[in-house]
Structure 1
Amino acid sequence: MTAPGARRVDRDRDPTGRARNARPRDSSGRPLPSGEAGVERVDEDVVLAPQEALAEAQRLLDGGYPFHAHEVLEGAWKSGRDDERPFWQGLAQLAVGLTHEQRGNRRGAVSLLRRGADNVADGSAAGARHGVDAARLSAWGRSRADVLESGGELGEGGAPVLRG
């Protein structure tokens, strides 16, 4: 057991001393045992220009990697303009909702899809600046949450279309 206030030395850390989990991850972002093959990871500190972030997130969502898409969208949320943060946060929450769904956590999926839908709707002006139909995407998130909450099955092809 580590004493209160003491720093654990057995944790993976980056050069600045920040805790990082270097273990490989599966397609849902869950850590795998050390030494196992995982999927390529997205840098936790990735920051892309808005159009690049949307394109990369879409590529990852389409490929079935919503956890990884969330990392990209979270980078845009945390580095973006203050007036755009609810929009980017909402996109990241939609991706996390899909991650929970992928992991079989319906309750978490419903919660995150609804929060994400609300934040995307609140950030509709930012969405419009980046070619995202916030009303359509928000409706997608709410609809998906409704189906999951009612116990329905959604099948394959769960990725939302971010632009277009």
Structure 2
Amino acid sequence: MGSTSSGRPVDARDRDNEGRARNARPRDGLGRPLPYGATGVARQAEGVVRVPRASVAEAQELLDAGRPFHAHEVFEDAWKSGPAEERELWRGLAQLAVGLTHSARGNVTGGARLLRRGAGAVEGWASSTGRRRPYDMDLAALADWARTLAEAVEGGAGPVDARERAPRLRGDPGA
């Protein structure tokens, strides 16, 4: 078996403590893998169970810091660990964060597509449940934000600055 310049065996896979394949390469603020040994940003712990308001607050902090990829991981935890009737909401929020991630990376098609898909998911969830402001989030404003950003990205605005274009989950500047 050969090895790479980092000394890692060519066919070795990074694995977590349970033996599942997990890429251990450091990541930048937009979640892109960096070379082994490079300094990246701290990764979000996976599989964390939070109360919904804590998920919203932590995701907003990450969005405000220009780290939408990491915010998506918080939403993904909520989607996977929360009640079944809220999974579509959290999945839609994760799609919005990934849409912003792709838009910041300069991926026009993927960014716009995920922003629109996430907007549709949160609106669909709100319509089906009658809940327009779960956990004080303004879902209509988030959907509008996503569609406006998708249009801007497709119109040549990208790559966008993730920090400057981050949504306000609760719709107000102090949220």
TM-score, normalised relative to structure 1: 0.89
1:140 aligned onto 2:140: no
CA shift for structure 1 position 151: 2.2
CA shift for structure 1 position 121: 0.7
Aligned to 1:12: 14
Deviation per CA, 1:34-69: give whole Å up to 9, x if none. 111000110122221110110000000000000000
Aligned to 1:5: none
8 A contact 1:57–1:72 mirrored in 2 = yes
Q: Distance in 2 between matches of 1:43 and 1:152?
A: 32
**Aligned AA (1:31):** P
CA shift for structure 1 position 126: 5.1
8 A contact 2:132–2:140 mirrored in 1 = no
8 A contact 2:68–2:98 mirrored in 1 = yes
Q: How many residues align?
A: 158
Aligned to 2:106: 104
CA shift for structure 1 position 127: 5.4
Aligned to 1:70: 72
Deviation per CA, 1:55-85: give whole Å up to 9, x if none. 0000000000000000001100111111111
8 A contact 1:87–1:126 mirrored in 2 = no
Q: 15-24 or 124-133: which moved more?
A: 124-133
Q: What are the equivalent positions in structure 2 for 1:1-164 lying under 5 Å apart?
A: 10-124=12-126, 125=130, 128-152=133-157, 157-164=164-171
**Alpha-carbon distance change, 88 to 55 in structure 1, aligned in 2, over 3 angstroms:** same
**Aligned AA (2:41):** V
Runs of 4+, deviation exceeding 4 Å: 153-156
CA-based RMSD of the aligned residues comes to 2.0
CA shift for structure 1 position 148: 1.4
**Alpha-carbon distance change, 51 to 77 in structure 1, aligned in 2, over 3 angstroms:** same
Structure 2's unaligned 5+ residue stretches are: 2-9
Structure 1's unaligned 5+ residue stretches are: 2-7
8 A contact 1:123–1:134 mirrored in 2 = no
Q: Classify the secondary structure of the residue corresponding to 1:123.
A: helix
8 A contact 1:83–1:126 mirrored in 2 = no
**Aligned AA (2:22):** R
Q: Classify the secondary structure of the residue corresponding to 2:165.
A: coil
**Aligned AA (1:103):** R
Q: Distance in 2 between matches of 1:78 and 1:126?
A: 20
Q: Distance in 1 between matches of 2:121 and 2:114?
A: 10
